[in-house]
């Protein structure tokens, strides 16, 4: 057990409102904080900071529904997943989704599989508000929205073998060679993810950037904690459980080829 684990407090961890609502970019800049927040200079980072324009409906959803379905990403605190997903049975599986954008796929997968808890983490303010708003509209109660760096979530907040799956759809490919080190899928990231993933947990990545797909496949196949679910190796067909989103459809219209990777935690 690491030093950070010994000082952790296990609790659902909710916040009155996300940092995206509380803080403005100008306030952060005046405090001398990096544009990506206090963890922007970490070696591994799960996101490209982006705030975007937030609608009144999204802002109101953040302010009103965050105490109910929001999760504060913070070091030194361990999530109690059964308590967090208190509307599901205590033994219900939980999957982590990193980077959900406006939440189109997240919401549809939650509706199709109401017995699975989805812990969805992102820093995109409009997306956070959109998911919360549509959860209420559609009567969904099996998503919890976390605002912050997924690396902190993986490293500090999730108990070993507590996740039944990991989803990472269309992360930033960082196409320029000098930026490849910024890609989230690296051996160090897979090391972190292996700890909270239970044996047999499904790891599902998808990208429409062919060189990044090849990098993902090489990195996963080289890691001893993961095995390819495809008998002959290589990429997997898009499973029916992953819906075709408008974002993906635009890429297909441009003749982008989408690759799915389905691996399992050994």
In b/e form, how buried is each residue of 124-138, taking b as 16+ CB within 10 angstroms?
Answer: bbbbbbbbbbbbeee
| Burial class (CB within 10 angstroms; exposed 0-12, middle 13-18, buried 19+) of 12 | middle
From 80, 113, 141, 172, active-site residue: 172
Active site residue 172: yes
User: Token pair 């980072």 is at which residue?
Assistant: 45
DSSP per position, 71-104: EE--TTEEE-HHHHTTTS-TT--EEEEE--TT-H
Q: How far is it, in rounded angstroms, from Cα 92 to Cα 210? A: 35
131, 107 Cβ separation under 8 angstroms? yes
Q: How far is it, in rounded angstroms, from Cα 264 to Cα 167? A: 12
Tell me, what DSSP letter sits at residue 137?
H
Catalytic positions, written as ranges: 172
């Amino acid at each position: 057990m690491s030093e950070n684990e010994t000082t952790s407090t296990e609790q659902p961890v909710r916040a009155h409102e996300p940092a995206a609502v509380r803080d403005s970019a100008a306030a952060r800049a005046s405090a001398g904080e990096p544009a990506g927040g206090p963890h922007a200079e970490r070696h591994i980072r799960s996101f490209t900071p982006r705030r975007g324009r937030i609608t009144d409906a999204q802002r109101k959803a953040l302010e009103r529904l965050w105490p109910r379905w929001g999760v504060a990403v913070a070091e030194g605190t361990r999530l109690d997943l059964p308590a967090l997903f208190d509307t599901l049975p205590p033994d219900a599986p939980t999957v982590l989704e990193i980077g959900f954008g406006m939440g189109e796929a997240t919401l549809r997968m939650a509706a199709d599989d109401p017995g699975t808890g989805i812990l969805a983490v992102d820093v995109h303010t409009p997306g956070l508000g959109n998911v919360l708003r549509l959860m209420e509209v559609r009567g969904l109660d099996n998503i919890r929205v976390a605002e912050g760096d997924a690396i902190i979530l993986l490293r500090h907040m999730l108990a070993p073998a507590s996740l039944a799956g990991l989803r990472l759809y269309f992360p930033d490919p960082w196409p320029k060679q000098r930026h490849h080190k910024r890609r989230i899928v690296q051996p160090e990231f897979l090391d972190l993810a292996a700890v909270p993933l239970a044996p047999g947990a499904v790891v599902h990545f998808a990208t429409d950037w062919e060189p990044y797909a090849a990098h993902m496949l090489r990195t996963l196949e080289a890691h001893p904690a993961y095995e390819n679910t495809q008998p002959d190796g290589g990429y997997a067909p898009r499973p029916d459980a992953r819906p075709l989103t408008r974002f993906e459809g635009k890429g297909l219209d441009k003749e982008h080829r989408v690759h799915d990777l389905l691996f399992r935690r050994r």
